[in-house]
Structure 1
Amino acid sequence: MKYRFLKYLLQRVGQCILVIFVGITITFIIPRLVPTNPVEVAIARVSAAGQHTAPEAVEEIRRALIELYGLEGSIWQQYLSFWGRLFRADLGPSYSSFPTPVIELIKVALPWTAGLLLASAVIAWVIGNFIGGVAGYFSTRRWARGLSVFAMAIRPIPYYIMAFVLLILFAYLVPVFPLSGALGIGIHPSFTLRFLTSMLKHAFLPALSLVIVGAGGWILGMESLVSNIVAEDYVVYAKTAGVSDSKLLSRYVIRNALLPQVTGLALQIGLIFNGALITEYVFSYPGLGYLAYNAIFSADYSLIIGIAIFSIVGVALAVLIVDLTYPLFDPRIQYR
């Protein structure tokens, strides 16, 4: 058993490392295919500001920026230098927040995004699967069909559109929640009730926009799975044997339908990150999405690459954790 688990573990870890390696390599290549050069963009902005700089000084600035951004030598030399710096946790300085290192900006923003995304993803998953399971089991009821229609209506709505709607409703028309930010003025992170209250109040609307749209997808997925499972022979037999609906739903139907949903949860984290990018910007929430949005518009290539690397690693590790824990949810699956 230990040998099989070790073999299974090594295979999954190897796949995870390969995914991260390929993803980071693509992240390295894509910015270099863009026609704009970050060094020339930086020099052009200095010139556009009306500052007169001698040609010798401009050339010195160009050489310094090329070294700073790791653009020296051939593509292969840049690639090797890129991995060398990456292993030292050196992603270079941020151009838009120069000379602050990219890693420092990500360290500040990462906890906010991680808390927002993980909490909203798990809440949406639990609520959506519960409602979808009940609606799928009692699919002939009128209220169940109503829930299905509601889920189909909210599922196509983009996260940021839902964010705008909630912002207008509960921050402008009915000013119950704050318009922007992650904390109130003068409040700093600490283990105090004032900090926790302010944090939850500011995070409520961004999280709610992600939960509502995310739950719609989970409802439809779970409803579809349950509608197929209730037609299985063992469910029909249990019904004829007099097993109560509550016991049948919790122990036989939802429990079996949850298995593919567990895998989907890890993948959903990566999809939510795409929606969180604009959602965080709508609420000026200081997470990776807000940071990435500003980095894109300021052509901060180092920061864009750093955020992409962290998102790749995060999604790959989430899928790895699901792969390793999947046999715990389904005893029929063995490590091999």
Structure 2
Amino acid sequence: MHWQGVRMTLLLRRAFFYLVTAFVALSLNFLLPRMIPGDPVSRMLQRFQGHLDPHAVFALRALYGQTNEGLWSQYLDYWSRLLHGDFGVSFSNYPTKVTTIIGQGLPWTLGLIGACTILSFVIGTALGTVAGWKRGGWVDGLIPVTTFLTSVPYFWFGLIAVYLFAVELRWFPLAGGYTPGIEQGFNFAFIDNVLEHAMLPALTIVVSSVGYWLLGMRNMMVTTLAEDYVLLAKAKGLSRRRVMNTYAGRNAVLPSLAGFALSMGFIVGGSIITEVVFNYPGIGYTLFQAIGGQDYPLMQGIFFIITVAVLGANLVADLVYVLLDPRTRRAA
């Protein structure tokens, strides 16, 4: 009963915190695009050098949903649409709905960035566990190399990979998510083509991020191995594998799990550089184009997805800590 009361208190406290955070973040989502100087209609009018009939100007602004309502009225309308799942119509892709554009780009981002994030976490955590258990071994020798690759700016690393493996060696396609003109669908030819285009960006993501997980897990393993319960497990004569995985590894992985949950939340926002470098048709590249075209509805829709993903990942990280670390329950 006591544990149930503690769990309910934690859930209510975190739920309130995340609701307030979501409200503030989504309010900023409304304000920030409107702080950018200019708008798409003004850009269009510049081509006519002011020689456009005022009625035509009014029609254009009405077409793009730019009314003369005050900021407060627009804010209330924004929340009303948001609660109904209506992000409006894209300015730069008129008359396509924002939800349609997001639905087209999101699977590409989740498929590439999501899979690579999981893969780099699994590889880095496994190698970090071995490196911490067998200090001075061959895995320890990988740490300087992986740390260097992690510290290199990703856009620079991606451009070098494109130049070497796509331009010079021609091992991989140069850019894009698939070859233009190929028949799209759930068939072997299209899937094989998509995987071929995803291989180079996937390799650069994994290689550049695995060092972060490796170093963090290795350091936590070194610290955990000095704990009394690990020494006691060794003294009992338990197998090395059981001590490493069950006693040391399970506790050492807690910070990495929290970091992994947060990185999953940043998949959408963190995909911008990757998709711009490789011209990949995901949600990050869509956001980049929306910012360039001052497409307010599309920007707000993508920022909404990012906000929900990050807050959801934070909530998952908190719950994982509560479930795996009894000390957080006692602290509550």
Q: TM-score range by the shorter chain?
A: 0.7 to 0.9
Q: Which amino acid aligns with 2:272?
A: L
CA distance in 2, matches of 1:163, 1:155: 12
Matched, 1:311 2:306: yes
1:32 is displaced (CA, Å) by 2.3
Q: Does residue 98 of structure 2 align to residue 102 of structure 1?
A: yes
2:121 paired with 1:125: yes
What residue is the counterpart of 2:54 in the other structure?
A: 55
- Cα distance change on mapping 1:138 and 1:72 into 2, 3 Å: farther
SS in 1 for 2:253: helix
1:293: how far off?
A: 1.3
3-state DSSP of counterpart to 1:47: coil
| Mapped partners of 2:202, 2:16: distance in 1 | 34
> TM-score when scaled to structure 1?
0.87
In structure 1, the partner of 2:166 is 171
* Shift in Å, 1:106: 0.7
Aligned to 2:22: 20
Aligned partners of 1:325, 1:235: CA distance in 2, in Å? 22
- Deviation of 1:292 (Å): 1.1
Residue among 284, 292, 300 paired with 1:297: 292
Could you tell me which amino acid in structure 1 is paired with residue 213 of structure 2? W
Corresponding position: 1:111 with 2:107: yes
Distance 1:295 1:332, change over 3 A: same
Give me the whole-angstrom Cα distance separating, in 1, the residues matched to 2:8 and 2:190: 44
**Counterpart among 264, 267, 270 of residue 269 in structure 1:** 264
Aligned 8 A contact 1:281 1:289 in 2: yes
Deviation digits for residues 69-128 of structure 1 (CA, Å, limit 9, x no counterpart): 4x5422211110111122222222222212212221111111111222221111111111
Q: TM-score, normalised by structure 2?
A: 0.88
Give distance in 1, aligned partners of 2:246 and 2:88: 53
The percentage of aligned residue pairs carrying the same residue is 37
Matched-pair contact (CA < 8 Å) for 1:238–1:248: yes
Q: Distance in 1 between matches of 2:298 and 2:329?
A: 42
* TM superposition shift of 1:332: 6.1
- 8 A contact 2:39–2:294 mirrored in 1: no
Name the counterpart of 2:33. Answer: 31
1:30 corresponds to which letter in structure 2? L
Partners of 1:298 and 1:85 in 2: CA distance: 22
Instruction: Return the alpha-carbon distance in structure 2 between the equivalents of residues 283 and 307 of structure 1.
Output: 20
In the alignment, the residues of structure 2 paired with residue 15 and residue 122 of structure 1 have an alpha-carbon distance, to the nearest angstrom, of 28
Q: 1:210, 1:272 within 8 Å by CA — same for their partners in 2?
A: no
**Residue 85 and residue 43 in structure 1: after superposition, are their counterparts in 2 closer, same or farther (change >3 A)?**
farther
User: Cα–Cα, structure 1 residues 213 and 134, in superposed 2: closer, same or farther, change >3 Å?
Assistant: same
CA contact (8 A) 1:158 1:275 kept: no
Contact 2:91 2:295 in 1 (8 A): yes
The 1-side partners of 2:112 and 2:21 are apart by 25
By how many angstroms is 1:322 displaced?
Answer: 3.4
2:201 equivalent to 1:189 = no
Tell me the secondary structure at the aligned position of residue 77 of structure 1.
helix
Q: Does 1:201 align with 2:196?
A: yes
8 Å CA contact 1:38–1:301 kept in 2: the answer is: no
User: Is the Cα contact below 8 Å between 1:159 and 1:275 reproduced in 2?
Assistant: no
Quote how far apart the aligned CAs of 1:325 are: 4.3
Show CA shifts across 1:251-310 (max 9, x none): 111111111211111211344544420211222211111111111222222222221111
Q: Alpha-carbon deviation of 1:326?
A: 4.2
Aligned match for 2:74, one of 66, 71, 78: 78
Cα distance in 1 between the residues matched to 2:107 and 2:72: 34
Q: What secondary structure sits across from 2:48 in the alignment?
A: helix
SS for the counterpart of 1:53 is coil
Q: CA RMSD in A?
A: 2.6
Query: Residues 200 and 327 (structure 1 numbering): CA distance in 2 closer, same or farther, change over 3 Å?
Result: farther
Instruction: Determine the structure 1 residue equivalent to 2:153.
Output: 158
2:282 aligned with 1:287: yes
Quote the residue 1:248 is aligned against.
Answer: 243
Aligned length in residues: 328
